[in-house]
Each structure stands twice: as structure tokens, then as C-alpha cells.
Amino acid sequence: MKTLSENRCFGGVQGVYSHASQACGCDMTFGLFLPAEAQDGPVPLLWYLSGLTCTHENAMVKAGAQAWAAEQGIALVFPDTSPRGEGVADDPEYDLGQGAGFYVNATQAPWAAHFRMWDYIAEELPAALDAAFPVDLERQAITGHSMGGHGALTLAMRLPGRFRSVSAFAPIANPTESDWGRKQLGAYLGEGADWAAHDASLLMAAKGFDGPVLVDQGSEDQFLDLLRPEALAQAMAARRQEGAFRMQKGYDHSYFFVSTFMEEHVHFHAEALYA
């Protein structure tokens, strides 16, 4: 584990760290906010998964989450969105390749060698955090934006018992029926693979989540047709899933939207983490 930076932040520490990832076959960077309470022992952990084109830094700098996490005594981890570096496959289009890992384990060339973001988020990074920092892996929650909302929802539903709560900001909600999804799942997993395992709407219909769910979606989101939020809302309603899907009037897809509702999301997770 290499420390890249550490800054005092709301009584705690906002750090940036890198480590050698076996899952991704390259060095990976992540941000970690530890509240003041971490000086006395392990604290609950909230994951924030970012969207297309993002790194660990976007939400760490723009979302304003540290203030609310410090208030609740919760750690925040901001992973990167894909493997990076020399020798890591990329694509000239922004929605494939580096910055667009989609939180899956790629099986197709040239992506399979490094793009194993599912294993990285589900297994490797939690183990690395547990070994190096005072975080309590018995109390975890997860959230994310756009592609990261897709990742948060699919990880939460496919790893029952791992997360006490899940939320999402404008998630890619139905990728098997969207151009944002068919392109990436086809490239990473291949035609005929089990795409349904990475579709939050289909997972919600099939199994749901064993805890509360909160989804916020802006009504003026410029990517609504690609996100397909109505599929997830319908699946939640049909399943009578504990939680809420909220259409927020006038908001778009930006971090202005995310930061507006971040306080409510952190409080939502804190209630579950301290139950």
C-alpha cells in the first residue's frame, strides 16, 4: 500500500492510496476518507462507485460526501472505475475501455487481461482495506452514480448479506435493453453471456435486495433514454421492495445533482449501518 496524499478533512483524513492489484494486473488507486472516530477503532464503511470517464477523484472532490460522513462517523471509499496504465487495453470512445470498467469481469479479448472490476470491488479491495485501515467490514453500505449506480445495485443484490443498504444516483438501470449496456456487456462478456447478472432491473425482479434501497433520478437527465429508470422503478414496485425510487424534478446527470442529495443518502445509509 502506497500513500499518495493525506489531507485533514472535517476532523478526519482524506487519503489517496495505490496498491498492486492481482485482479486487475496493474496498480490501482482509490480514495479513502476516515472520520475522527477511526482513531479509536474500526468504523462503518460506505462505498461510492463512480460513473463513466471518472476516476477515484471525481466524487471525492465534487460530491461533498465527507462532511456528512464525518457527522455520522462513517468511512468513505472511492475506488477507480477501471484498470489503467501502460499495457491496459483502451478504446477511443469514452464509454468503453479505461474509465468504463462497468464493474464486470471481462472474458473477451483484449479486455480479459485487466478488466476484472467485479473481483476487484467485491473481493480484493475490501481485503486490502481490512488489512490496512480501521474499517468495519461487518457494517458496509454501497452507493454510486450512473455506471457506478449500476455497479452498486448489482453488487448489493448479488452479494446478499454483504451490504446493509444500497442507494444510487441516476443508475444505468436496465443495461441489457440500453445502448449503454449492450455495447459494453457485448464487448466485455461476449454475445450470449449471462448479461442478466449485471442488470439491476432484472436482478430486482428476480431476487430484490435484503435491505432498504434508495434511488434518485433527475427528471431532466440528458441520458434518460440510456438509463431506463422506469424499468427499475417498475421492478421495485412489482416486488414491493423496501425503499424508494424518487424522480427529482429539474435535475440533470451532473455532480450538482449528486451533491444536492448526498446528505440524504449518507443519512439513509447511516440509519442502516447503526441499526
Nearest to 184 by CA among 58, 97, 65, 76: 97
Amino acid (1-letter code) at residue 135? V
User: Apex CA 28: angle with CA 26 and CA 32, to 5°?
Assistant: 165
Q: Which residues have a Cβ under 8 Å from the Cβ of 265 and sit 6 or more positions away?
A: 143, 167, 169, 214, 216
CA 119, 141, 245, 263 torsion-angle sign: negative
Q: Is 269 among the residues known to form the active site?
A: no
Which one of the listed residues 198, 253, 265, 269 is annotated catalytic?
Answer: 253
Which one of the listed residues 80, 199, 216, 221 is annotated catalytic?
Answer: 221
Q: Which residues have a Cβ under 8 Å from the Cβ of 20 and sit 6 or more positions away?
A: 26, 27, 28
Amino acid (1-letter code) at residue 165? S
The set of cell numbers assigned to 11 is 476532523
Report the distance separating Cα 185 and Cα 200, nearest Å: 13
Q: Is 221 among the residues known to form the active site?
A: yes
Which one of the listed residues 50, 82, 146, 167 is annotated catalytic?
Answer: 146
User: Apex CA 18: angle with CA 14 and CA 19, to 5°?
Assistant: 140
Beta-sheet pairing, 26-34 with 2-9: unpaired
Q: Is 40 among the residues known to form the active site?
A: no
The set of cell numbers assigned to 97 is 475501455
Known catalytic residues?
A: 146, 221, 253
